Amino acid sequence: MIIGLLLVLLFGKTVYGAQRWLILGPLTIQPSEFMKIALILALSRYFMYKDNVSKISNIIIPLFLTIIPMVLIIKQPDLGTSLTLLPILFTIIYIAGARLKYIFSIITIGIASMPFFWFFVLKGYQKARVISLFWPEKVSELGAGYHKIQSLIAIGSGGVYGSGWGTGVQSQLHFLPQGHTDFIFSVIAEEWGFLRSCAILCLYVLFLACSIGIALKTREAYGRLIVTGFTAMFATQIFINVAMTIGLAPITGLTLPFISYGGSSLLSSFIALSFILNVRLRTREVWSKQAFHE
């Protein structure tokens, strides 16, 4: 996956100023989506063989395993995807047994380095998106605040019951950019309304709760780490995407799992789901064998 990220920087396809995709014949692949899966598997494998994770030395290698793809993804630039790697790292090292003070130390260092990222890493349009989070009306009509304003209009115009399937003004007349990918939740809220949007969020919460339940019931360390890692990945994407559409987070390129259009995003989501279900199946088999012997 690291090689794939390097190939993207060298030969990747540029869309809307972001170089995130590789063209392989008829296929267009976004390696950063699969990097999340590779990172979860690598971190889980690493901690599976570590008995004493409470030592700070056992966290250094996982930290570098996360920072290297983060830097490559930021260079594309894709700040949203890169930020999803941190919750994955924190969740896995916590479940593996790391002390909370080490996790908070890493978070503190990250917060302290924010001025460096603001002045030397973030591009102009990314800074404008952060600024538009607080003052969207101060940017130009087609500037960084345009997406947020149109998203809020779409959600507000949907009301309680929505305007009806395929009849949303913001989405059908294309006032809302990227309505089929990044802002699919805004389209759902406009056409399906508040109640159905809440129902979808409840389904997500149920899915995450079931995933957590699988992790708690799994006795095998590797399987438990895998499930918690993928649960953290889904939770982060869902939270950031929905928060972005309702104006509580800066605009990013993160998709809504299982709903947003995008081949790499959908494929990586179902691969992650297959790992969770596989762990669930293996746990069930272990319980069945134990019950039989008893």
Could you report the per-residue pLDDT of 72-97, keeping only the tens digit for each? 888 877 888 888 999 999 999 988 88
pLDDT at 144: 62
Could you report the per-residue pLDDT of 199-238, keeping only the tens digit for each? 999 999 999 999 999 999 888 889 999 999 999 999 999 9
Could you report the per-residue pLDDT of 158-177, keeping only the tens digit for each? 888 888 887 788 878 778 88
Residue 17 has pLDDT above 70, yes or no: no
Tokens 């790391």 belong to 98
d(CA 15, CA 269): 22
What integer best gives the mean pLDDT of the chain?
83
Residue 286 has pLDDT above 60, yes or no: no
pLDDT at 1: 66
The three-state (H, E, C) secondary structure of 256-291, written as one string: CCCCCCCHHHHHHHHHHHHHHHHHHHHHHHHHHHHH
What integer is the mean pLDDT of 34-58? Answer: 84
Alpha carbon distances (Å) from 233 to 81, 126, 150, 242: 10, 22, 27, 14
pLDDT at 52: 67
d(CA 188, CA 268): 22
Mean pLDDT is lowest, of 42-56, 108-122, 179-193, 280-294, for: 280-294
Residue 6 has pLDDT above 80, yes or no: no
Tell whether pTM > 0.75. Answer: yes
Alpha carbon distances (Å) from 257 to 136, 236, 272: 27, 10, 11
What integer is the mean pLDDT of 57-67? Answer: 86
pLDDT at 230: 96
Could you report the per-residue pLDDT of 118-160, keeping only the tens digit for each? 777 777 777 777 777 777 666 554 466 777 888 888 888 888 8
With bands split at pLDDT 50, 70 and 90, how would you rate the model's confidence at 291? Answer: very low
Greater confidence (99 vs 229) lies with: 229
